[in-house]
Amino acid sequence: MDGNVLFALGLTVFAGLATGIGSLLAFFTSRTNKKFLSMALGFSAGVMIFVALVEIFFKAKDALVAELGDVNGYWMTLVGFFGGMLFIGVIDRLLPSLGNPHEVKSVEAMDVQPTSAEHARLMKMGMFTALAIGIHNFPEGIATFMSAMSDPNLGIAIAIAVAIHNIPEGIAVAVPIYYATGSRKRAFKLSFLSGLAEPVGAIVAFLILMPFLSDLMFGVIFAGVAGIMVFISLDELLPAAKEFDETHSSIYGVVAGMMVMAASLVLFSV
């Protein structure tokens, strides 16, 4: 296994384990601190949208235009982009509604110990959230790995974006499980495991997709990844950020996320 492959796998592990950081933050943040969640979710959305539309989409377009020509390459980029949205949309439709991370707001609002019935509901919510996030993280792991194999600088930028995105996901998994069980250890473990779906996705990409890699495949995958990232931001992160919002904190988070991502792309391109 050469150095590039190990580097790409390492980036996916780094991105996936950020869910554990989120679970730790959840334990040390007041359960009524909605401003923190709103800004974190908005920040993640800003990072994801900016890197998808400013960097990944045009990387895909350049690769596909080089392979297929101006018109066909642009059309294929659009097909890949909206195909990625369709793909993640179908996954969302197939997942149980209890897997919706937005439901964490009901947990954050609690100031009393849950009843036995609420214990069961919270535990189920946390488990389905972990399942949903694990499924979402799998294609993100493929995207991070493939990006790093094609362009290490872009791979680093995507890994950072995904890692930031995974922090509030870790909170979404850990908080309901912690309230349901009272066990920080169990909440952290399940949050941690949901993040491991990313390196699993990278391993699948290495073992199955690597023999078929070409500039055409890279372009299509990049376009699909851009669509996936935009869909997740618009469908999950931004609505959740607005639900927790206090004094426009979510939009401040979005702008801050875009600024940080823009700066990182410039720094990594030097």
According to the annotation, is 140 in a ligand binding site?
yes
Instruction: Give the tens place of pLDDT for each residue, 184-233.
Output: 788 888 888 888 888 888 888 778 877 776 778 878 888 888 888 888 78
Full 3-state SS string of the chain: CCHHHHHHHHHHHHHHHHHHHHHHHHHHCCCCCHHHHHHHHHHHHHHHHHHHHHHHHHHHHHHHHHHHCHHHHHHHHHHHHHHHHHHHHHHHHHCCHHHCHHHHHHHHCCCCCCCHHHHHHHHHHHHHHHHHHHHHHHHHHHHHHHHHHHCHHHHHHHHHHHHHHHHHHHHHHHHHHHHHHCCHHHHHHHHHHHHCHHHHHHHHHHHHHHHHCCHHHHHHHHHHHHHHHHHHHHHHHHHHHHHCCCCCHHHHHHHHHHHHHHHHHHHHHC
Q: Is residue 169 part of a domain?
A: yes
Residue 88: which domain range? 1-27+49-98+115-268
Q: Is residue 43 part of a domain?
A: no
Q: What pLDDT is recorded for position 100?
A: 44
According to the annotation, is 136 in a ligand binding site?
no
According to the annotation, is 236 in a ligand binding site?
no
Total structural domains within the chain: 1
pTM of the entire predicted model: 0.63
Q: Is residue 105 part of a domain?
A: no
Q: Is residue 37 part of a domain?
A: no
Instruction: Give the tens place of pLDDT for each residue, 140-191.
Output: 787 788 778 878 887 887 788 778 767 777 877 777 677 777 777 888 888 8
According to the annotation, is 72 in a ligand binding site?
no
| Model confidence at 10: pLDDT above 80 | yes
Q: Is residue 121 part of a domain?
A: yes
